[in-house]
Amino acid sequence: MPNNRNTKKRILTGDRPTGPLHIGHYAGSLENRVKLQDKYDCFFIIADYQYLTDGLKQTEHIEEYTREVVLDWLSVGMDPEKATFFIQSQIPEIAELTMIFSMMVTLARLHRNPTVKDEFKTSGLHAMSYGFLGYPVSQAADILVVRSHLVPVGDDNMPHVEQTREIARSFNSIFGEVFPVPEGLVGETARLPGLNGQKMSKSMNNAIYLKDTTEEVNQKVSMAITDPARIKATDTGHPDICNIFKYHLAFNKPEARDIEKRCRQGKIGCVACKQNAAAVINAFLDPIREKRAEYQAKPGIIKNALQAGIERTLEKSRETVRLVREAMHFEYEDLLNGKNIIAG
Ligand code: TRP
């Protein structure tokens, strides 16, 4: 099949390099990316500058964490032959656009971003840096540097997509049409809760990782919090407030409805239900584990994916910045060519 990347609409999305990805990432976005990469020209970013918002003093593992993310991407079927993988800091044009866009956003507007507020609360930091408050502007630059049309994200990132749309419109209205106004695309699967019912995240220590072993998954699932209103196995259960039921919905579709019914009737206990959940999660992870081991043994694949991806992103980003400078009258052609434009 001919490579018709250039006629496809573009997508940009990605992850912070916080280390290995978990099943929440999979259900919330990775699964969707694997489908989207066939239909769209996809750019997948590893947002290392964004990691600095709360990871400024923990950069010693950034390279290892980036490797983990790429390994997870490859293992779930994100394909560097179809899509473009790149690292944010390797694209200087993102920093340039961030500078320009920062002039188009008020402080009051940044302070209204609910996700930034939440993340600051859970970050444990005492004071918010300029870059933390402003990271949605840098994320707008991630998205707009490739002039992306679509941005598949979790609902927590929708405020950033809205911010990006405002910036694109603002730029276009001041300087003329350069950017598409990108659409956000929220996946169908509701966010998977962590093992304790809170948002699944590394910092909460409540995540099942794609690289976890069978034993780790069994152990974690057996310790998970289920329906707090249920004491005995014969009590009637409430699947709608049970974390494990959410895992059944995401990874055990054929059986989920039946389990729901039996739980409500008190006909399946939490222990059996958890064992079932652990088994389906393990069955889902097995092929991913296998691929991960293969890719881990061939570091050249990661290197090639990133090298080609960065190169390809640079082509697009340089073109974008050329268009931006042209639109802004920031080319300085006469001045830099020694032409005297004063008449006479
Ligand atoms: N904010 C995203 C997250 O934490 C990561 C990200 C950075 C991103 N730049 C992006 C997502 C651009 C979509 C588009 O998960």
For ligand 1, atom 2, the nearest C-alpha belongs to 15
- In the numeric block, the tokens 């496809």 are attached to 8
143 touches ligand 1 (CB under 6 Å): yes
Distance (angstroms) between ligand 1 centre and the Cα of 253 equals 28
C-alpha 140 to ligand 1 mean position (Å) = 9
Pocket test for ligand 1, best of 69, 157, 167, 200 (most atoms within 8 A of CB): 157
In this prediction, residue 1 carries a pLDDT of 47
Q: 14: helix, coil or strand?
A: strand
Using the atom order of ligand 1, give the atom closest to the CA of residue 138.
9
Q: Among candidates 98, 91, 85, 73, which has minimal Cα distance to 45?
A: 85
In the structure encoding, which two tokens stand for residue 326, read together? Answer: 């042209």
- How many angstroms separate the alpha carbon of residue 280 from the centre of ligand 1? 29
Note whether 236 and 246 are within 8 A (CB): no
**Cβ neighbours around 96 below 10 Å, total:** 17
Q: Is the CB of 50 under 6 A from ligand 1?
A: yes
What DSSP assignment string belongs to 44-109? EEE-HHHHHHHHTT-GGGHHHHHHHHHHHHHHHT--TTTSEEEEGGG-HHHHHHHHHHGGGS-HHH
Pocket test for ligand 1, best of 21, 22, 50, 156 (most atoms within 8 A of CB): 50
Ligand 1, atom 5, residue with closest C-alpha: 15
Query: Three-state SS for 343?
Result: coil
CA–chain centroid gap for 128, Å, is: 22
Instruction: Give the pLDDT confidence score for residue 340 in this predicted structure.
Output: 80
CA proximity to 5, closest of 316, 336, 333: 316
CB 142 near ligand 1, within 6 Å: yes
Write phi, then psi, for 13 (nearest 5 degrees). Answer: -160, 175
Which residue, among 186, 185, 150, 187, has the nearest Cα to 168 in the 3D structure? 150
C-alpha triplet 85, 80, 24: angle, nearest 5°: 70
Query: DSSP code of 179?
Result: S
> Residue 189 in 3-state DSSP?
coil
Q: How far is the CA of 15 from the centre of ligand 1 (A)?
A: 5
Looking up tokens 């097995």 gives 286
Q: How far apart are CA 116 and CA 134, in angstroms?
A: 9
Ligand 1: residue whose CA is nearest its atom 14: 13
Residue 45 buriedness (CB in 10 A; 0-12 / 13-18 / 19+) = buried
User: What is the token pair recorded at 262?
Assistant: 């039996």
- DSSP H or E run through 122: helix 114-123
Residue 209: closest CA among 63, 22, 59: 22
Q: Kindly state if the Cβ of 141 falls inside 6 Å of ligand 1.
A: no
* Among candidate residues 251, 225, 250, the one with its CA nearest the CA of residue 238: 225
Query: Which of the 8 DSSP states describes residue 299?
Result: H
- What is the DSSP track for 223-275? H----TT--STTSPP-GGG-HHHHHHHHH-HHHHHHHHHHHHTT-S-HHHHHH
Query: What residue owns the CA closest to ligand 1's atom 9?
Result: 139
Q: Is the CB of 47 under 6 A from ligand 1?
A: yes
Please report the pLDDT score of residue 203 as a whole number: 81
pLDDT by residue, tens only, the chain of 344 residues: 455 777 899 999 999 999 999 999 999 899 999 999 999 999 999 999 999 999 999 999 999 999 999 999 999 999 999 999 999 999 999 999 999 999 999 999 999 999 999 999 989 999 999 999 999 999 999 999 999 999 999 889 999 999 999 999 999 999 999 999 999 999 777 689 999 999 898 888 999 999 999 999 999 999 999 888 888 888 899 999 999 999 999 999 999 999 999 999 999 999 999 999 999 999 999 999 999 999 999 989 999 999 999 999 999 999 999 999 999 999 999 999 998 866 65
Report the amino acid identity of residue 38: D
* Distance of CA 182 from the midpoint of ligand 1 (Å): 14
**Nearest in space to 143 (alpha carbons), one of 120, 171, 110, 115:** 171
Give the torsion through C-alpha atoms of 62, 64, 66, 70, to 10 deg.
180
3-state helix, strand, coil in the chain (%, to 5): 60, 10, 30
> Rounded to the nearest whole angstrom, what is the distance from the C-alpha of residue 121 to the centroid of ligand 1?
19
Q: How far is CA 179 from CA 110, 165, 168, 307, in A?
A: 21, 9, 6, 26
At 3 the pLDDT is 58
| Residues 70, 63: Cα–Cα separation, whole Å | 11
How high is the pLDDT of residue 76? 98
